[in-house]
Amino acid sequence: MKKFLIYSAVWLLLVVVSLEISLRVFGLAAQTMPTKNVDNNYVFEPGKSGFWVRGGLKEINSYYAINKQGFNSIVDYTDLDNKNLNIALIGDSYIQGFHTDANYSIGRQLEDMLGPNVVVFEFGRAGGNIVDYGLVYEEYVKYKKYDFVFVLATDKDLVSEKASFMGKGNRVPEKDLTRKIYDNVHLLRYLNINHGLGVHFNKLINNGPDSIDRIHNNNLSSDIITKESYLNSVNEDALKLLPEDVIFLYEEGRLDDVFIENFDFKFKKVIHSKTPKDHGLDAHWNINGRYNCAKSMAEYIQSQ
């Protein structure tokens, strides 16, 4: 037994060291994105740039650049020039767009489609919801001259009562020892991001196993939504922060007709002119999906 345990320990040590070296050499582990409190908003550290990595073998490896406001965009909102056609784009992780090179984001594709003197300002943050979008509008958009303001939203965003990042600057984590270890050990980051180590442990401790019974029950638990219940659940206070000329960009099936029919905003459906592709490991569409969004917005702007 003693030999076996020594052998296993040596073997495990070798595996861990080899994996750590491999991950460092090939840059396979995702970075911890540095967050910062900017004007009491929980955003990314301004001025940071690099490559955002996801997937077992770096299937997504895209360039990111954090602007002065802490959003992933190569454009700063202080660059706004009234002579240009200025477009604001507000949304969640999809607009944040780490899954695509910052030079091919929705904003950049839209600029290419509309020609010169068009600048798109992107305000996207993963986990954002309608409260955040309203506050983003208040803080960054309202007092500037924007020609078009698009909000990418889903039903899920509309029912949130609390902001996720706006006014949440206090959520920037303290760098304690555990955090420092996590940030510096590529293997931990790799296992956590790619294999959901943390999420899985959490689920195991809180919920126990995913029994067939539970999976079955979960599948049955989708509620039937009525028009009244839908309208009651929408956060109207947050919506009031947005003016009626805001254009809601939506994907069919992810924004209910009840919302479209009962609110006086403008709406534009994303047309899937190209097949949106993802990498299996990430439900966010990549280049083609971004193209579809940009194309749909370009069509809308050109029709005005």
Partner 1 sequence: MFFNSIDFAIFLPIFFILYWFLIAKNLKLQNLLIVVASYIFYGWWDYRFLALIVFSTLVDYIIGLLIWKDSKKGGKNKFYYLLTSIFVNVGFLGFFKYYNFFVDNFISAFSFFGHEFGSTSLSIILPVGISFYTFQTMSYTIDIYKGKLNPTKNFIGFAAFVSFFPQLVAGPIERASNLLPQILTKRKFSETQALEGLRLILWGLFKKIVIADALAPSVNEIFLNYAIYPSQILILGAVFFAFQIYCDFSGYSNIARGLAKLLGLELMVNFNFPYFSRSIAEFWRKWHISLSTWFRDYLYIPLGGSRDGLSKSLRNVFIIFLVSGFWHGANWTFIVWGGIHALLFVPSFIRKNNRNNLLDLAPSNYYLPNIKDVLKILYTFSLVTFAWIFFRANSITEAIDYIYKILSFDFRSYTFLNPYDNQVLFKEYIYLLLLILLEYLFITNIINFYSKNKIYGILFDVILFIIIVLNNPVSDSLSFIYFQF
| Residue 201 engages partner 1 in binding (rule: CB under 8 A) | yes
Nearest-CA neighbor of 147 among 87, 90, 79?
87
298 by DSSP, 3-state: which? helix
| Residue 93 engages partner 1 in binding (rule: CB under 8 A) | no
- DSSP for 96-116? H-TTS-GGGSHHHHHHHHH-S
Q: Give residues with Cβ within 8 angstroms of 61, minimum separation 6.
A: 51, 52, 53
| Residue 18 engages partner 1 in binding (rule: CB under 8 A) | yes
- Min dist CB 11 to partner 1, Å, is 6
| Residue 227 engages partner 1 in binding (rule: CB under 8 A) | no
Interaction pattern, residues 270-289, with partner 1; x per rule: CB under 8 A: -------xxxxx--------
**216 vs 83: CA distance, rounded Å:** 58
Stretch of 14-22, 80-88, 90-98, 254-262 contacting partner 1, by CB under 8 A: 14-22
Q: Which is nearer to partner 1, 11 or 49 (CB)?
A: 11
Whether the Cβ atoms of residue 54 and residue 281 lie closer than 8 Å to each other: yes
Nearest-CA neighbor of 94 among 69, 71, 61, 68?
71
| Residue 9 engages partner 1 in binding (rule: CB under 8 A) | no
Among 1, 25, 177, 220, binds partner 1 (CB under 8 A): 1
Task: Name the site residues for partner 1 (rule: CB under 8 A).
Answer: 1, 3-4, 7-8, 10-11, 14-15, 18-19, 22, 28, 54-57, 59, 191, 194-197, 200-201, 204, 209, 211-213, 216, 277-281
